[in-house]
């Protein structure tokens, strides 16, 4: 299991992405971060801290659960029930530039489900996608606006993102 990103690399990558966000959006006015549960939320919170360090301004940050929006839940008639977690978006997304944050972009289906869920909360001015790792193999026409690392993989391989907040360490591993 090769480690493709260690803690230092993840930290530098998120700082770089934060700078790109500030540059592309000409500051952080009207921005909001929404992380896709679970690791996307941790990354969004880290980006919010970096954006505050860079600009001095707080960026509202929320958490989005997409469980009920997934297109694979009803594919099997019998099986374990999905674990539904809370969505916590305690601010209006209307007319904001929303940065949707996830750990890995693969087929695009998670992002599609997140877009559907997010639209139920309001009408953002725009939605930009931030991912730590893009591994390719898209099934839907979805492209990230900010990518930490492009990591071409085979469909048989797996990317595991481990973050201190949920896993006790920061690393990205190719399996």
Say if residue 134's pLDDT is above 70: yes
Domain boundaries, the chain: 3-174
* pTM attached to this predicted model: 0.92
CA distance linking residue 41 with residue 33, whole number of Å: 9
Count CA within 13 A, CB hemisphere, residue 86.
Answer: 4
The mean per-residue pLDDT over the stretch 61-85 comes to 72
Average pLDDT, the chain: 93
The mean per-residue pLDDT over the stretch 42-58 comes to 98
131 within 8 A of 147, measured Cβ to Cβ: yes
CATH of domain 3-174: 3.40.50.2020
1 within 8 A of 172, measured Cβ to Cβ: no
The pLDDT tens digits of the residues spanning 87-96 come to 999 999 999 9
């Amino acid at each position: 299991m090769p480690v493709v990103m260690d803690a230092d690399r993840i930290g530098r990558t998120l700082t770089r992405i934060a700078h790109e966000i500030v540059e592309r959006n000409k500051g952080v006015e009207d921005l909001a971060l929404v992380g896709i549960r679970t690791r996307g939320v941790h990354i969004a919170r880290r980006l919010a801290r970096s954006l505050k360090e860079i600009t001095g301004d707080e960026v509202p940050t929320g958490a989005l659960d997409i469980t009920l929006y997934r297109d694979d839940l009803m594919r099997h008639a019998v099986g374990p029930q999905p674990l539904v977690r809370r969505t916590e978006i305690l601010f209006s997304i209307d007319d904001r530039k929303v940065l949707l944050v996830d750990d890995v972009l693969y087929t695009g289906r998670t992002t599609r489900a997140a877009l559907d869920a997010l639209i139920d909360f309001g009408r953002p001015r725009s939605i930009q996608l931030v991912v730590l790792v893009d591994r390719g193999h898209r099934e839907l026409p979805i492209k990230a606006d900010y990518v930490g690392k492009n990591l071409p993989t085979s469909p048989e391989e797996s990317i595991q993102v481990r973050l201190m907040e949920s896993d006790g360490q920061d690393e990205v591993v190719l399996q």
